[in-house]
Amino acid sequence: MNLKGSRVLVTGADGFIGSHLVEALVREGANVRALVQYNSFNSWGWLDSLDPATLRAVEVFPGDVRDPDQMRQALAGVQAVFHLAALISIPFSYQAPASFVDTNVKGTLNVLQAAREAKAERVLVTSTSEVYGTAIRVPMDESHPLQAQSPYSASKIAADRLAESFYRCYDLPVTIVRPFNTYGPRQSSRAIIPTLITQLLAGSKRIQLGNTATSRDFNYVADTVRGFLDIAGCDQAIGEEINIASQTEITIGELAKLLVERINPEASIHFDDRRLRPKRSEVERLLGSNEKLKRLTGWSPMVDLAKGLDLTIEWFRSGENIKGYKPHVYNI
């Protein structure tokens, strides 16, 4: 599918990856409708930080994926859907699992139903590497078993299987896009890299962390967004589940050392048991395979971890960017 000139909807456009995707789609020449979660403050999330010229090119649609009627309105006349809206915090999913079912499962169902009625030409449903759970084999390709190790991952597995069913039952042109751990500017401090950076930039010499032995596969946000665009442009990706992974891994302890060296070498890392997951819920290792994405689209990561961390630190150093963060609060 050629995105230039196409009417495109991005759900979750007010969030971290969604706001970067909106920018990229505007650059591609798409006509972008951005679904942001309605709130009485009239906040458009990270879209409020975009360049005014970019934002003027975007139709902002305040709403909620949990409302099926609104999703019909949001998808009216739309040719392609990038469905990113979700509740994403694993610790919060322990406390409020029903909220994750409402947003991630029922919300995805509403988007799929509306896309079917609108006869959308492409539907990209955003999954997560968390659906795989702890690695049974590496690198983890798309045939790796799914393991629901948190209510969050369970809700995303359910959403993935709903998306698959709409492809198989109704010929809806769905692709399940499965990013591994994305990081970069605008990410919330519920994620590990902003948690570390904001503590260090605040001058803390005692960096609070949970399990430092787990490993993750990190993608810089520009690479993740490019993966979405490449998948949308690939007809062979319809009906497929596709990882976006760097196919490299690093432990959280090693990651913390890299950031300490870059920001405040005098800081030390300290254990905080509040940040531990329940024992059987902890995902010990994530290392994704990107071979399928490479084969279908030619995609490969362009920003390595060292460069990506430098770019992310540079963004957080701006007082304007960091002012909404609370480095001394454990953000779940």
Same domain, 64 and 90: yes
Same domain, 102 and 161: yes
Give the per-residue pLDDT at 214: 93
The answer, yes or no, to whether residue 289 has pLDDT greater than 90, is yes
Q: What is the CATH number of the domain that holds 131?
A: 3.40.50.720
Q: What is the CATH number of the domain that holds 270?
A: 3.90.25.10
| Residue 76 included in any domain | yes
> Which 3 state secondary structure label does DSSP give 114?
helix
Q: Which helix (H) or strand (E) segment is 268 a member of?
A: strand 268-271
Same domain, 46 and 17: yes
**Which range (90-104, 116-130, 204-218, 244-258) has the least confidence?**
204-218
Please state the rounded mean pLDDT for residues 117-126: 98
Same domain, 158 and 275: no
**Which range (53-67, 218-232, 233-247, 268-282) has the least confidence?**
268-282
Q: How much is the mean pLDDT over the chain?
A: 95
Same domain, 210 and 228: no
What would you report as the CA-atom Rg of the chain, rounded to the nearest whole angstrom? 19
Residues with catalytic annotation?
A: 152
Give the per-residue pLDDT at 163: 98
The answer, yes or no, to whether residue 269 has pLDDT greater than 90, is no
Structural domain count, the chain: 2
Same domain, 122 and 191: no
The domain of 258 spans: 184-216+248-288+304-322
Structure token digits, residue 33: 């409708």
Q: Residue 221 — left, alpha, or beta (φ > 0 → left; ψ -120 to 50 → alpha)? A: alpha
The answer, yes or no, to whether residue 60 has pLDDT greater than 90, is yes
Give the per-residue pLDDT at 206: 86
Q: Enter the pTM of the model.
A: 0.96
State which amino acid sits at residue 131. Answer: V
- Asked whether 264 and 226 are in contact (CB, 8 A), the reply is no
The answer, yes or no, to whether residue 275 has pLDDT greater than 70, is no
Per-residue pLDDT band for 102 (boundaries 50, 70, 90) equals very high
Same domain, 33 and 15: yes
The answer, yes or no, to whether residue 332 has pLDDT greater than 70, is no
Q: Which residue intervals of 146-246 are DSSP H helices?
A: 151-170, 192-201, 221-232
Please state the rounded mean pLDDT for residues 197-216: 88
